Structure 1
Amino acid sequence: YLPEYIVADAGYGSEQNYMAIIDDFNKTPLITYGMFIKDKTRKFKSDIFNTQNWKYDELNDEFICPNNKRIGFKRYAYRNDRYGFKRDFKLYECDDCSACSLRQQCMKPNSKSNKKIMKNYNWEYFKAQINQKLSEPETKKIYSQRKIDVEPVFGFM
């Protein structure tokens, strides 16, 4: 028997764990992910070079960078993480960043290629679900109990 809500800290917030809890166990995860708190900061949300803040043109499946260049879809890709879990991505790439006036701020200093964005839409979906769940009063309260019920034990070991 498992409770309706599976509660854990950010160390367990992964695409693989969310998928198992939802699909295999038919339960609701209340597990933050590594960037959960940082994602909500004003600094993070206002960083124009953070690709998560770029405009997305759904019709043309492309992002628009701070210099109004279009970063279009190029191909599908996947990566296996260290546990062998396959993560699917969509790869977007700008056609030409060589003469861009914002290149220095936008890219790594010695980058020889154009700007690339790898989007894992499955992961983005799970993050949105977690954000939504943890903003609801009932589930927010359940999650907040985790620190009270679990973590004090470490102080007495």
Structure 2
Amino acid sequence: SQFVLSYNVYQNPTDTRTMIPFLNSIQETYGHLPEYIVADAGYGSESNYKAIIDDFNRTPLITYGMFIKDKTKKYKSDIFNTQNWNYDEINDEFICPNNKRLGFKRYAYRHDKYGYKRDFKLYECDDCSECPLKNQCMNFNSKTNKKIMKNYNWEYFKSQINKKLSEPETKNI
């Protein structure tokens, strides 16, 4: 059995920004929050996971947009999907399907339209100009080298969600 603990109508068309108001409403109404916060993938975001864990001291059991696709054979076997590329931890480099290395270049950050700051590490290949796989790996007319922006906070939260949703005591909640 599942229960709806709170509902409201918002002008915002995305679920992501309504999670915190919902949790505050539940806390005000019932005096506490359940141990596990369960919602659909529309609520799965870095900012929501961080708030649930850090601010509310609860465990999110919320999938994210690519949760199901991440587990498909096609996704896991796509050699051009940078999530599947080997990573050299010692040199902080990713290795592409053509065995070229994309080295760490700099730190970057972006603010989403709601002001949430996301931190990234930017990796870039030094030369993709003669790569025989370039057209498969990058946009057809790309005049730059391959770049990857990694958000390790987001990757951490996704791995924690995957772990929690695989555990016997939480996977069926």
The TM-score with structure 1 as length reference comes to 0.90
The reply to whether residue 93 of structure 1 matches residue 124 of structure 2 is yes
Pick from 35, 38, 53 the counterpart of residue 7 of structure 1.
38
Residue type of the alignment partner of 1:88: D
**Which runs of at least 4 in structure 1 moved beyond 3 Å after TM superposition?**
none
For 2:159, the equivalent position in structure 1 comes to: 128
Distance 2:67 2:141 in 1: 30
Whether 2:48 is the aligned partner of 1:17: answer yes
Q: 1:37 aligned to 2:68? A: yes
Question: Which one of the candidate residues 134, 139, 151 is aligned to 1:103?
Answer: 134
Counterpart secondary structure, 2:170? helix
Residue 83 of structure 1: aligned partner: 114
Tell me which residue corresponds to 1:51: 82
- Report the AA paired with residue 45 of structure 1: K
Deviation at 1:11, TM superposition (A): 0.4
What secondary structure sits across from 2:124 in the alignment?
strand
Q: What TM-score comes out, normalization by structure 2 length?
A: 0.82
Q: Distance in 2 between matches of 1:141 and 1:131?
A: 13
Between the two structures, name the one with larger relative contact order (CA 8 Å, sep ≥ 6): 1
Q: Name the SS for the 2:118 alignment partner.
A: strand
Mapped to 1, the partners of 2:113 and 2:139 lie a distance apart of 25
Aligned counterpart in structure 1 of residue 147 of structure 2, from 116, 120, 124: 116
Q: How many residues align?
A: 142
Report the counterpart of residue 13 of structure 2 in structure 1. none
The two structures, once aligned, show a CA RMSD in angstroms of: 0.4
Question: How much has 1:111 moved relative to structure 2?
Answer: 1.0
> For residues 112 and 41 of structure 2, what CA distance do their matches in structure 1 show?
17
Unaligned runs of 5+ in 2: 1-31
Partners of 1:82 and 1:15 lie apart in 2 by 14
The structural deviation recorded for 1:5 is 0.1
Residue ranges of structure 1 left out of the alignment (5+ in a row): 143-157
* CA distance in 1 between partners of 2:143 and 2:168 (Å): 48
Q: Which residue in 1 is equivalent to 2:93?
A: 62
Q: Which has the higher helix share?
A: 1
- Distance in 1 between the 2:90 and 2:98 partners? 20
